[in-house]
Amino acid sequence: MSTQIPKQTEKTEETEHEGPSQGDVRRSEKRRRAAERREQRQAEEAERAKTDDDTVEFRVFRYDPEVEGKQEPRFDTFYVPFTKGMTVLDALIYARDTYDSSLTFRHSCRQAVCGSDAMFVNGGQKLACKTQVSDLEAPVRIEPLPHADVTKDLVVDMEHFYDQMEAVEPYFDTDEYPDGELEEQRQTRANREKIKMSTRCIWCGACMSSCNVAAGDNEYLGPAAINKAYRFAMDEREGADRKQERLEIIEQEHGVWRCQTQFSCTEVCPKDIPLTEHIQELKREAVKNNLKFW
């Protein structure tokens, strides 16, 4: 699983086109003049920003497979006026709205909950909405997550990550239900504290991107998926048979035993989940599960 740009295929199909009408020519010329005026305004704004002491230089990865001339990866430079409390996501939104409306990246809640805006910022996996520009050294370099196929600019294909999460069957399954129809299924405080951190995963993919094992083994479940398995396997309300099945999933060849305990996943997790510790605990559970005394 490596960061790569999809190969381009040449279109060989030929189609016949009639000559443009006068109306088409006028509209095309009108769009061209409007684009020139927009580019001129953006260039003037950029020049003013360069001389402003309160601006920050951002070098942003660009790639667009559908636009001729933009199919080769490159970095574009944007100068963004700095304001107190500005995040990397704020800066990207400013650059998109002010300089280049084609700049593409994912974002949603802006509160470090949705996990959609994980990026590679100054050499580390971070949530753009959570990362303060004031904490970074300029120029700020922003790239898509490593070890994933780039779709466009800062957007990567997350399908493989979601497949790995689904592989551990992240669904709660119990053997016993409360007697009363409206009675809740109780959990002890101690057990809740044990699994509390594992429930905070926001599926951002930062941990998977940082994992060297996942980079070289496309079948490795990865820290996020194993953490999700931990969340259910360690829940005391999980059924015994279901827990057994879950342990069999994570102790396979490309499961917990592939982890090399590098702690890179723990270091980049934006929710401070002790991912490596959870993986090691599942290793111990797998060993105990296979011990036979007779």
Cβ-based neighbour number of residue 214 at 10 Å: 29
User: Among residues of the chain, what percentage have pLDDT more than 70?
Assistant: 88
* Least confident window among 40-54, 252-266, 277-291: 40-54
What is the chain's mean pLDDT, rounded? Answer: 88
pLDDT tens by residue, 113-145: 999 999 999 999 999 999 999 999 999 999 999
Q: Residue 31: what pLDDT?
A: 77
- Give the separation between CA 142 and CA 63, rounded to whole angstroms: 13
pLDDT tens by residue, 41-62: 666 666 666 656 689 999 999 9
| Pairing outcome for strands 140-143 and 55-62 | parallel
- The 8-class DSSP code of residue 235 comes to -
Q: Which residue has the higher pLDDT, 105 or 7?
A: 105
Q: What is the mean pLDDT of residues 95-106?
A: 95
Q: Which of 251, 260, 170, 168 is nearest to 214 (CA)?
A: 260
Is the pLDDT at 292 greater than 80, yes or no? no
Q: Residue 293: what pLDDT?
A: 57
Is the pLDDT at 244 greater than 80, yes or no? yes
pLDDT tens by residue, 27-36: 878 878 777 7
Pair 89, 80: CB distance under 8 Å: no
Q: Residue 12: what pLDDT?
A: 47
| Pairing outcome for strands 155-156 and 150-152 | antiparallel
Walk me through the domains of the chain, giving residue ranges and CATH numbers.
40-156 (3.10.20.30), 159-177+187-290 (1.10.1060.10)
* Least confident window among 7-11, 37-41, 78-82, 166-170: 7-11
pLDDT tens by residue, 204-243: 999 999 999 999 999 999 999 999 999 999 999 998 888 8
